[in-house]
Amino acid sequence: MNKHFYKLPIKPDSFFTKKEHVTCDLKQSIAHYIHLINTTHFGECNFEESFGSSIWELDFDNLKSSNILKSLIKSSIEDSIKTHEKRLTKITVDVKIKQEEILNADSVNRIKKRVDLVINAKVKLTNEDFKYVEYFYIGPLSYQ
């Protein structure tokens, strides 16, 4: 079993200077790849137009209800992971959306939609449980 996966972000200068690139284990590699799927806009990768998620398309959509946004985000991420992350099986995606008050340094409060994302699956190679948890804000998109 290959235990050397490149850790994101990839630093091209380490390849050109013949330095060794930072590696990670299988589960970390899968988590990095899921994050890459979540943060990529459809069509951004020229080699694969279907790589990414619809989060960017929904970012400033204030007209859709939270339930519709939740459903669209869930189906987009679930479809993309099933299509592009072949190391996982039995993938389930849970999305929760809530309003959250953000305090800025200049004492200006903003209300943003927080999207909580939980992905459960099995790693095909080892049959181990896999869990990925991430949250982000939309309108505009930002990650913590």
Kindly calculate the radius of gyration of the chain based on its CA atoms and give it in whole angstroms.
17
Beta bridge partners of 6: 23
Note the pLDDT of residue 61: 64
What pLDDT sits at residue 7?
A: 73
Give which of 53, 58, 59 is closest to 82, Cα–Cα. Answer: 53
Instruction: Quote the tokens at residue 49.
Output: 């137009």
- Alpha carbon distance 118, 131 (integer Å): 7
| Residue 1 in this model has a pLDDT that exceeds 60 | no
Counting residues of the chain whose pLDDT is more than 90, the rounded percentage is 40
In order of their start, the domains of the chain are: 5-143 (3.10.450.40)
| pLDDT the model gives residue 49 | 84
Is residue 76 over pLDDT 80? Answer: yes
pTM of the model: 0.79
> How does the average pLDDT of the chain come out, rounded?
84
Q: Could you report the per-residue pLDDT of 11-60, keeping only the tens digit for each?
A: 777 767 777 777 788 999 999 999 999 988 888 888 888 898 888 777 66
> Is the pLDDT assigned to residue 144 strictly greater than 60?
no
The pLDDT of residue 19: 75
